[in-house]
Structure 1
Amino acid sequence: MRRAFVYLFAVAAGCGIGIGSALAMAGLLPGANPLAFGNVDVDGWRSDFAIGSEAADAYTRARVARHGLLALAKSEAVYFTRTTDDAGQPLREACTYRLTTGAMPAGWWSITLYNADSMLPDNDDAALSINAGQDMAARIGDEIVGQGVGATVAPRRPEGRGLWISSRNAGRFDLTLRLYMPNDALLTDPADVLRPPRIEPLACEVAA
């Protein structure tokens, strides 16, 4: 009887650990971010270069399918995600940030804000993404705003005409950097080639 109990306990523990690890690796646990971990980390911007490649394992494919990433082949695009600011604190709607970046090792790139459910926040600000090409002409939609990229990430539009990424109704959020037509050097040595955007916290609202 004791041996049967030990066998049953071992089977139950194995199933629990197996299912739990599979859910964690696939990014299916509540609150998990599908790109918040991976085999590449450049100054807090994380990526999994297996995404969009033949090397993608079952866990990676599950993350892509479950979260609707629609990942392109690695030669066409690579994805980096940042969940914290330069001070190491989680990105959140109550704070205002200054995002700055220079040229990217890609033909064209974009930065998009997603909420904790990997969805676009529910707002109508039409300011959830910015993009630029190798000419560093920053754009919002089809409008060319200026050379170089410096954007404010905040729940309300800042004064002036600068770039703005709206975090209204986002709660905890992340920023995803997509690099389209990446340079070959980026794929072989990302830490040496990529100079990712900085995210400087400026101010945070104090809860009443």
Structure 2
Amino acid sequence: MRFVLRLLLMFAVALAFGFGLSYYALTDGRYFGVLQSGPWTAWPDAGSPNPNPYTRAHVVRVGNLPLGQSEGLQFTATTDSAGEPLTRACTYAIAGTTPVATFWTLVAVDGAGRNLARPGAAMALRSGDIVRPEDGSISVHVGTRLMPGNWLEIVGDGPFSLVLTLYDTVASSGFGAAVETLPSITREGCR
């Protein structure tokens, strides 16, 4: 009887460990093909003809249509640069530079992937629509309250994610700009 109980316990531990590691690989993926720079993460193999098994499972799990490798790369941030979760109760400053790309967009989405832009406002902030200083860096404010300069207005309450999509970029290709040039996300204040 003791043997059967130990065998069942060992089987339960093995299942929990296996499913736990699988869940970790598909959500965080830091060691399984994810490209990470500060709070920004991307799955660069998502648009390749033969992605690795973890990338393939992640794409199926989130259910989005990835860009092809020659089309671009999509970065997502769920936390600020200090590691705190992004929440609509706070205002954030996104500052720095982006990797070389022909065009980029910045969108705020909720957990289900719905755009959080105010009705009647632009759905995304586009690289061609922002005012930049002479050094070419970006400075964007994200939040529900009016902010000076470039502002991505969002609505509602609760957590959100920022999605930065670089189109026609050399990031992560080994040629040109490195991914370390992604902007920082700093919490400015909360209501």
Matches within 5 A, 1:1-208: 1-27=1-27, 39-102=34-97, 104-121=99-116, 123-124=118-119, 126-132=121-127, 137-138=128-129, 146-147=131-132, 149-158=138-147, 162-183=149-170, 186-188=172-174, 192=178, 194-205=180-191
**Structure 1 segments unaligned to the other structure (5+ residues):** 28-32, 139-144
**CA distance in structure 2 between the partners assigned to 1:46 and 1:79 by the alignment:** 8
**CA distance in structure 2 between the partners assigned to 1:125 and 1:59 by the alignment:** 38
Q: RMSD over aligned Cα, in angstroms? A: 3.0
8 Å contact kept, 1:105–1:186: no
For residues 2-29 of structure 1, what are the alpha-carbon distances to aligned partners after superposition, in whole Å with 9 as ceiling and x for unaligned?
Answer: 22222222222222222233233223xx
- Quote how far apart the aligned CAs of 1:199 are: 2.2
**CA distance in structure 1 between the partners assigned to 2:116 and 2:15 by the alignment:** 36
- Quote how far apart the aligned CAs of 1:106 are: 1.3
Aligned CA distance change for structure 1 residues 201 and 172 (closer, same or farther; 3 Å): same
Greater mean alpha carbon deviation, residues 74-83 or residues 17-26: 17-26
Aligned CA distance change for structure 1 residues 6 and 63 (closer, same or farther; 3 Å): same
Letter in 1 for 2:141: T
**CA distance in structure 2 between the partners assigned to 1:93 and 1:44 by the alignment:** 17
- Quote how far apart the aligned CAs of 1:193 are: 5.4
Letter in 2 for 1:14: A
8 Å contact kept, 1:105–1:193: no
For 1:141, the equivalent position in structure 2 comes to none
TM-score (norm 1): 0.73
TM-score (norm 2): 0.78
For residues 93-113 of structure 1, what are the alpha-carbon distances to aligned partners after superposition, in whole Å with 9 as ceiling and x for unaligned?
Answer: 111122234453111111111
Aligned length: 186
**CA distance in structure 2 between the partners assigned to 1:23 and 1:190 by the alignment:** 34
For residues 37-91 of structure 1, what are the alpha-carbon distances to aligned partners after superposition, in whole Å with 9 as ceiling and x for unaligned?
Answer: 9532223322222222245233322321232221122221112222222333222
**CA distance in structure 2 between the partners assigned to 1:43 and 1:64 by the alignment:** 22
**Structure 2 segments unaligned to the other structure (5+ residues):** none
Aligned CA distance change for structure 1 residues 191 and 39 (closer, same or farther; 3 Å): farther
Percent identity, aligned pairs only? 30
